Amino acid sequence: MQMNKRRIFSDEFKTEAVRRVREDGRRPASVAKELGVPRQLMQAWLERAREIVGEVQAPVLSEDERAELLRLRQENQRLKMEKEILKKATAFFAKESL
């Protein structure tokens, strides 16, 4: 009979997961899915973090900060696309010059 092994997560792993939700403004379910942990476990880590800090659930970022974060994320995405285009163009012209 095979027993399920219980996975153990380091404190650093838990802290990073909680940080992704709190500071990046991401949804707990999406972070849990990305990290491959049960959604309920992610919620437990968030509750524990709230208890440790002693805070009530409140927005971490102001509206201006959220707007700036959104703008920066969009700019970052645009820059990544431009970078990929330049990489492809460089490869194309390098191949043409041979």
Model-level pTM greater than 0.85? no
Q: What is the pLDDT of residues 47-87, one digit of tens each?
A: 998 888 765 555 577 889 889 999 999 999 999 999 999 99
Q: What is the pLDDT of residues 25-40, one digit of tens each?
A: 889 999 999 999 999 9
* Location of structure tokens 């390098």: 94
* CATH number, domain 9-60: 1.10.10
DSSP characters for 14-77? HHHHHHHHHTT---HHHHHHHHT--HHHHHHHHHHHHHHHT--S--SS-HHHHHHHHHHHHHHH
The CA distances from residue 25 to 16, 56, 72, 83, 85, in Å, are 13, 16, 14, 26, 29
Domain ranges of the chain: 9-60, 61-98
